[in-house]
Structure 1
Amino acid sequence: MIPHLVTYRQRRHDGRWLRVYVPVLPVVLLLSPLLLLAVLGGVVACLIFGVSPVGALRGAGRLLWALPGARFEIEQGRMAVLVSVR
């Protein structure tokens, strides 16, 4: 299953939380022309460095497929960042 929603939470220095909800599908649709260029650039880079483009695309697809349910937390001092993928 591809991710549907990315939640970004950041605790500021004063202790308040900033929350941003990013729906994945509209962002992908808006950035699809750039995504196509990035895929083409990745294929060219694979050919230059001798990596199988099909294997690289398969690996990127598996990584995206495994993202739902992932949580990334970073905390340093009074500042904290939490990224959750659903």
Structure 2
Amino acid sequence: MIPQLATVRYRRPDGRPLRLYIPILPVLLVLAPLLLPAGLVACVIFRVDPVGALRGAGRLLWALPGTRFEIEDGRTAFLVSVR
């Protein structure tokens, strides 16, 4: 299943929390006109098969649901959760 929502939680050093909800599909649709040409240029520069790169990016995107990424350093905390 393709991920639907990314939740970003950030606790500032002063203790105030900030929570952002990022819908994955609309963001990808808005950024697609920029990402596709940039990806093709990168494939040409690094001599990578564009179809293989696209397949790998799709597999990575498909594996994201359920991923949690968390960093804490002192009073600052950063959490990314993909649903």
Per the normalisation by structure 1, the TM-score is 0.83
Between 53-62 and 30-39, report the one with greater CA deviation. 53-62
Q: Which runs of 5+ in 1 are unaligned?
A: none
**Matched AA of 1:23:** P
1:74 corresponds in structure 2 to 71
Q: TM-score scaled to structure 2, two decimals?
A: 0.86
Runs of 4+ aligned structure 1 residues displaced above 6 Å come to none
Is the partner of 1:56 in helix, strand or coil?
A: helix
Give the root-mean-square deviation of aligned CA atoms.
1.5
Count of residues in correspondence between the two structures: 83
Counterparts of 1:64 and 1:38, CA distance in 2: 18
1:5-31 deviation digits (Å, cap 9, x = unpaired): 110000111212100001111111211
